Amino acid sequence: MIEFSQVSKNFEGASVLNKVNLKVNRGEFLVLLGASGSGKTTMLKMINGMEEPSAGEVMIHDKPLHQLDLVHLRRRIGYVIQDVGLFPHYSVFKNIGLLPKLAGEKPDDIEFKVKHWMKRLDLDYEEHANKYPENLSGGQAQRVGLARAMAGEPDIMLLDEPFSALDPLIRNQIRKDYRQIQKKEAITTVMVTHDLLEAVELADKICLIADGEIQQIDTPERLIFKPKTDKVKAFTAGDKYQAALAACKIHSLKPYVHQLPNNIREEGTLLEALQFVEDKDEQILMKAFAQYKEQWRE
Give 159's pLDDT tier (boundaries 50, 70, 90).
very high
- Position 265 scores a pLDDT of 81
* Contacts (Cβ under 8 Å, ≥6 apart) of 82: 160, 161, 162, 164, 165
Q: Which of 169, 171, 117, 110 is nearest to 142 (CA)?
A: 171
Please give the class, per CATH, of domain 2-235. alpha beta
Contact 32, 16 (CB under 8 A): no
**CA distance to 191, 224, 279, per residue, from 260 (Å):** 33, 24, 13
> Regarding predicted confidence, which is higher, 231 or 258?
231
Beta-sheet pairing, 2-11 with 205-210: unpaired
Most confidently modeled range among 124-128, 170-174, 253-257? 124-128
Cα dihedral 221/29/21/199 (nearest 10) = -50
> Regarding predicted confidence, which is higher, 74 or 188?
188
Q: In what order do the strands lie in the sheet with 55-60?
A: 14-24, 2-11, 55-60, 63-64
Q: What is the pLDDT of residues 36-86, one digit of tens each?
A: 888 899 999 999 999 999 999 999 999 999 899 988 888 889 998 877 789
Q: Which of 276, 279, 270, 218 is nearest to 249 (CA)?
A: 270
The pair phi, psi for residue 197, each rounded to 5°, is -65, -40
Q: Which of 44, 172, 177, 169 is nearest to 120 (CA)?
A: 177
Domain ranges in the chain are 2-235, 248-298
Contact 159, 191 (CB under 8 A): yes
C-alpha–C-alpha distance, residues 52 and 38, integer Å: 17
Indicate the length of the chain as a whole number.
298
Helix/strand/coil for 38: coil
- Position 298 scores a pLDDT of 61
- Position 90 scores a pLDDT of 96
